[in-house]
Amino acid sequence: MQKFILILFLSTGLSVISCSREPLPHAAGARDHVVIIIPRGEEDIGSLLTPYIEKVYFYPSKEQVYVTDILNPGKLQTYRYWRNLVMIGWLNTYIDTLLSPEALSQVKKDGGVFHLEDMYVSGQTVILIAGKDKKTVEKVIKDYGETIYLTLRKGERNRIAKLLYMDGEQKKMEDTMRRLLGAWVRVPLGYQVSVREDNIFSIIRAYPDRLVTIYYNKGTFNGNPVHFRDSLFTRYFEGDSILKERTKIDTVNFNGIKAIRMRGIWQNMKKVMGGPFITYIINKDGFYYFIDGHVFAPSKKKWPYLEEVDIIMHTFRTEL
pLDDT of residue 107: 86
Is 207 contained in some domain?
Answer: yes
User: By C-alpha distance, which of 158, 187, 180 is closest to 293?
Assistant: 187
* Domain end (from 133, 149, 165): 165
Tell whether 176 and 271 lie within a shared domain.
Answer: yes
pLDDT of residue 17: 36
Is 40 contained in some domain?
Answer: yes
Is 37 contained in some domain?
Answer: yes
Tell whether 268 and 283 lie within a shared domain.
Answer: yes
User: By C-alpha distance, which of 247, 255, 305, 244 is closest to 279?
Assistant: 247
* Domain end (from 114, 139, 165): 165
Is 51 contained in some domain?
Answer: yes
Tell whether 134 and 201 lie within a shared domain.
Answer: no
The beta strand positions in the chain, using DSSP E, are 33-37, 56-58, 62-64, 67-71, 84-90, 112-117, 125-131, 183-184, 192-196, 200-205, 209-218, 241-242, 248-254, 257-268, 273-284, 287-296, 317-318
Number of structural domains in the chain: 2
Tell whether 38 and 152 lie within a shared domain.
Answer: yes
Collapsing DSSP to helix, strand or coil, 280 comes out as strand
* Domain end (from 139, 165, 191): 165
Which residues, in sequence order, are CB contacts of 92 under 8 Å at separation 6+?
A: none
Tell whether 180 and 311 lie within a shared domain.
Answer: yes
From residue 150, give the alpha-carbon distance in Å to each of 125, 161, 224, 297. Answer: 12, 16, 31, 23
Is 97 contained in some domain?
Answer: yes
Tell whether 289 and 253 lie within a shared domain.
Answer: yes
- Sign of the Cα pseudo-torsion (42, 45, 49, 50, in order): positive
Which residues, in sequence order, are CB contacts of 296 under 8 Å at separation 6+?
A: 208, 209, 273, 274, 275
- Cα 310 to Cα 277: distance, rounded to the nearest angstrom: 9
Tell whether 203 and 312 lie within a shared domain.
Answer: yes
Q: Which domain holds residue 190?
A: 171-318
Tell whether 129 and 240 lie within a shared domain.
Answer: no
Is 6 contained in some domain?
Answer: no
- Determine the length of the chain: 320
Name the pTM for this structure.
Answer: 0.90
- Cα 144 to Cα 159: distance, rounded to the nearest angstrom: 23
| Per-position pLDDT tens, the chain of length 320 | 555 544 444 333 333 333 444 545 789 999 999 999 999 999 899 999 999 999 999 999 999 999 999 999 999 999 999 999 999 999 999 988 888 888 888 888 888 898 888 888 899 999 999 999 999 999 999 999 999 999 999 999 999 999 999 999 999 999 999 999 999 999 999 999 999 999 999 999 999 999 999 999 999 999 999 999 999 999 999 889 999 999 999 999 999 999 999 999 999 988 889 999 999 999 999 999 999 999 999 999 999 999 999 999 999 999 75
Tell whether 146 and 210 lie within a shared domain.
Answer: no
Tell whether 158 and 227 lie within a shared domain.
Answer: no
Domain at 125, CATH number = 3.30.379
Is 9 contained in some domain?
Answer: no
Tell whether 140 and 231 lie within a shared domain.
Answer: no
Domain at 269, CATH number = 3.40.1000.10
Tell whether 135 and 120 lie within a shared domain.
Answer: yes
Is 12 contained in some domain?
Answer: no
pLDDT of residue 109: 83
